[in-house]
Amino acid sequence: MDRDTKFCESFRTFLSNEDVVPVRLPPRSPNMNAHLERFFGSLKSECLDRLILFGEKAMRNAVEQYLDHYHAERPHQGLDNELIVPFEEPSAMNSNIESNERLGGLLRSYRRAD
């Protein structure tokens, strides 16, 4: 977390009560959290901004579904649009295409049927 005043002592105490160890960034280091900021931007724009969530349980489920999609099902641009965790055996090129939907079709991934 940065050194913003919203991360006050009571907030850090709350985190430590939940067994979360807060790590504060050094002063005047705006780009140290760039990867996390990019991920949270993706999470918000691709998932949370498009849902109406009723309660913490719904939000946790949405974030969990997004994480599963983000880490296993989407093509990664830094890997030449390959999956982060590729399938063990590639499917035949003439097989049908299957769609996997998460969050009611908000997140979709496609692959060839086995």
Rg of the chain on CA atoms, in Å: 19
- Could you tell me how far CA 47 lies from the centroid of its own chain? 9
Does 17 map to a domain? no
Does 93 map to a domain? yes
* pLDDT on residue 114: 67
List Cβ neighbours of 74 (8 Å cut-off, separation of 6 or more).
Answer: 83, 84, 109
Spatial distance between the Cα atoms of 65 and 57, rounded to a whole number of angstroms: 12
Closest residue by Cα to residue 29 from 1, 57, 65: 1
Does 32 map to a domain? no
- pLDDT tens for the 114 residues of the chain, in order: 777 777 888 888 888 898 888 888 887 777 777 878 888 888 999 888 888 999 999 999 999 999 988 888 777 777 777 777 766 666 677 778 888 888 888 888 777 776
Does 35 map to a domain? no
Does 99 map to a domain? yes
Domain that holds residue 82: 55-114
Does 105 map to a domain? yes
CB 44 within 8 A of CB 100: no
Does 13 map to a domain? no
Number of domains in the chain: 1
Does 96 map to a domain? yes
